[in-house]
Amino acid sequence: MTRIAAIGECMIEMAPTGPAGLYRMGFAGDTLNTAWYLRQLLPAADRIDYVTAVGRDAASDQMLDFLRGADLGVDHIARSSDRTVGLYMIQLQDGERSFSYWRGQSAARTLADDPAALTEALSGADLAVFSGITLAILPPAGREALLEALAELRGRGGTIVFDPNLRPRLWASPSEMTGAITRAAAVSDIALPSHEDEAAWFGDADPEATAARYAGSGVGCVIVKNGPGPVLARVAGVQTWHETQAVETVVDTTAAGDSFNAGYLAAQLQGRSIDEAVAAAAGLAGRVIRSHGALVPIA
Ligand code: ADP
C-alpha cells in the first residue's frame, strides 16, 4: 500500500451554468485536483490524504463532505475557528473565461501553523505532493515549517513531489517566488514544471534549461510539461523527449498540469517506464482539456 499526502488549498469553485447569474458550486485547487485524479487512477488499497486547513462553518463542512465523498483522507485537516475556505468564481465574457479569487484570508493559509501537527500529518506518508501555490499561500514561518517537514519525510525515505505552479500574483515579489521555488526544489525528488511559466520567471531558454536548473537543485526526476509541445524527462541525468497527442478541440485547459501530474505519478507508482508514464500523463491531460472544469470523471 502506498500512502500519499497532498498538501495545499482546496477552494470552492463557482462556475457559470448558462443562465445569467446562475452558478454551480464545486471544489477545486491544484494539489486537490492532483489528489482527486490520483484517487481515480490508483487502487482503493492506496491511501490518499488531503492535508489542509478549513473553517468550522457550513461551507467548510461541505468541503470535508466532498473530500470524503471523493475517498480522500481528511484526518489531517486542521480546523480554524476564525477563518473559512477560499473561493473563486469563473466569469464568462464573450466566450473568454476569467477568474476572481477570494482566498487572501482562507483557512488553508494556516495549514502549517502547527509544525508538530504537520509533521504528524506527513509521518505516515510514502509520497508527498505539494506545489508553488501551497508555498505561496503560507506565511514565511509556515513555508519554513512545511519545507522542514518535507525534508524530514525525505530523510526517512519518503518521495517528495513538487509542481512549481508559478503564480506571481500570490507572491510579494518575483524574487520571493523564485527564491522559495528554488528552496522547494532542494527538498524534492520529482519536479513537474511547465516550461512556459519557468521561461517567463526564470528565463529558461528551452525545456532542457528548465530540466537542468531543477536537476542542479538536486531533483533526480524532472518532467517538463510544455502545453501541446513534447514533454522532456530528465531522470538521473538522462534526457528523453516524449511527443504529446494533439488535441484538436481544447475546451478548457483548467487542471491540465494537475491531471498530468496524477497520470505520471500513478503510472510511476505502478512500476511503468518513463515513456509509459509520460504517455499516460499526457493522455489523461488530453482528456481533461476536452471538457469543462477541473475535475473531469475518467471512469
Ligand atoms: P499547466 O496546465 O500546468 O500550465 P501545460 O499547459 O504545460 O501545464 O499542460 C500540461 C499538459 O497538458 C501538457 O504536458 C500536455 O500533456 C497537456 N496539454 C496542455 N495543452 C495541450 C494541448 N493544447 N494539446 C494537447 N495536450 C495539451
Give residue 38's identity as a one-letter amino acid code.
L
Q: How far is the CA of 228 from the centre of ligand 1 (A)?
A: 5
Q: For 128, how many CA atoms within 13 A lie in the half-sphere containing its CB?
A: 32
Higher pLDDT, 283 or 293: 283
For a mutational test of ligand 1's pocket, the pick from 247, 251, 253, 278, i.e. the residue with the most ligand atoms closer than 8 A to its C-beta, is 253
Is 285 near ligand 1, meaning CB less than 6 Å away?
Answer: yes
Q: Is 247 in the pocket of ligand 1 (CB under 6 A)?
A: yes
The pLDDT of residue 45 is: 82
**Mind listing the pLDDT tens digit for each residue in 244-273?**
999 999 988 999 999 999 999 999 999 999
Q: With residue 188 as reference, give the H or E element that holds it.
A: none
Choose the residue to mutate in 194, 275, 296 for probing ligand 1, maximizing ligand atoms within 8 Å of C-beta.
Answer: 194
Atom nearest to 250 CA in ligand 1? 23
Please state, as a whole number, how many other Cβ atoms lie within 10 Å of the Cβ of residue 84.
19
The answer, yes or no, to whether any atom of ligand 1 lies below 6 A from the CB of 250, is: yes
- Is the distance from the beta carbon of residue 282 to the nearest atom of ligand 1 less than 6 Å? yes
Predicted structure pTM score: 0.97
278 membership: H or E segment, kind and range: helix 274-288
Provide the strand spans (E) within 192-285. Answer: 221-224, 231-235, 238-242
From residue 124, how far is each of 47, 74, 266 by CA, in Å?
10, 14, 19
ipTM > 0.95, yes or no: yes
What is the CA(152)–ligand 1 centre distance, in A? 32
Tell me the pLDDT tens digit for each residue of 3-53.
999 999 999 999 988 888 899 999 999 999 999 999 999 988 889 999 999
Q: 226: Cβ below 6 Å to ligand 1?
A: yes
For 195-250, write each residue's pLDDT tens digit.
Answer: 999 999 999 999 999 999 999 999 999 999 999 999 999 999 999 999 999 999 99
Locate 279 and state its grid cell: 504517455
User: Is-contact 116 136, C-beta < 8 A?
Assistant: no
For 58-113, the pLDDT digits (tens) are 999 999 999 999 999 999 999 999 999 999 999 888 777 889 999 999 999 999 99
* Residue to probe by mutation, ligand 1, list 225, 258, 259, 287, most atoms within 8 Å of CB: 225
**Which residue has 443562465 as its cell numbers?**
19
Of the candidate CATH numbers 3.40.50.300, 3.40.1190.20, 1.20.1640.10, 3.30.565.10, the domain formed by 3-9+30-84+107-289 belongs to: 3.40.1190.20
The position carrying cell 494537475 is 258
For residues 135 and 163, the answer to whether their CB atoms sit within 8 Å is no
Asked if 283 and 266 touch (Cβ cutoff 8 Å), the reply is: no
Neighbours of 182 (CB within 10 A): 15
**What's the pLDDT score for residue 220?**
98
Q: CA–CA separation, 265 vs 138, rounded Å?
A: 25
- In whole angstroms, give the CA distance from residue 138 to residue 174: 16
pLDDT digits (tens, 9 = 90+) for 146-188: 999 999 999 999 999 999 999 999 999 999 999 999 999 999 9
Closest-lying ligand 1 atom to the alpha carbon of residue 226: 7
Which residue in the block uniquely carries the three cell numbers 469563473?
A: 90
- Is ligand 1 within 6 A of the CB of residue 193? no
SS3 label, residue 194: strand
Residue 57 CA: distances (Å) to CA of 7, 63, 137, 203, 246: 21, 10, 21, 43, 44
| Mean residue pLDDT across the chain | 96
For atom 1 of ligand 1, the residue with the nearest CA is 257
The CB of 225 under 6 Å from ligand 1? The reply is: yes
| pLDDT value of position 92 | 81
Active site residue 49: no
Identify whether the C-beta of residue 192 lies closer than 8 Å to the C-beta of residue 162. yes
Q: Where are the chain's structural domains? A: 3-9+30-84+107-289
Q: Residue 152 class from Cβ within 10 Å (0-12 exposed, 13-18 middle, 19+ buried)? A: middle
